[in-house]
Amino acid sequence: MRAEFEPELPSFAITEWRTLLGKYRHLVAGLEAGIAPPDPGVLAYFHDGEPVYLTAVENLRERITADLDRTGDLTRSHTRQLVARQHLGLQHIVRGQPGHSDGDALTAVNDYLDTSGVAWIRSSSVTAARELTLLLLLAHKPPLNHDN
């Protein structure tokens, strides 16, 4: 299902959404976080070709590094927490709480993310990234954003 665009959105928001949808998607499995710039921007995850999560970030490289962290603690990445909540039914993920670093949960989250793609748009500032993200979310609300 492709994103439908609301006619009352500013044309630049529609253009930016189409730009994001058309960006090269780096497969998470094997991705080196250093490929992302250390700039603010809008980060999008895709699964099965569809956008599943959209967020504004202060530093694209740092956020992707956190999302790629497979050390066993789901609380170290908001994206990994959202995947665990939506796909494993874990509602309250608290650092140090039993069950949030067990092998089955980690495997499920890692498998989901490994088969996902990630793309980004650089922004001039965090504020600009947040404003753009809000506009993009008016056009389409990816499933992991429903949990926010």
Per-residue model confidence as pLDDT tens digits over 19-66: 888 889 999 998 988 999 999 999 999 999 999 999 999 999 999 999
Query: Which two structure tokens, joined as six digits, stand for 122?
Result: 């650089």
Other C-beta atoms closer than 10 Å to the C-beta of 34 total 10
- Report the predicted TM-score, pTM, of the whole model to 2 decimal places: 0.83
Spatial distance between the Cα atoms of 52 and 48, rounded to a whole number of angstroms: 9
Whole-number pLDDT of residue 20 = 84
Whole-number pLDDT of residue 1 = 44
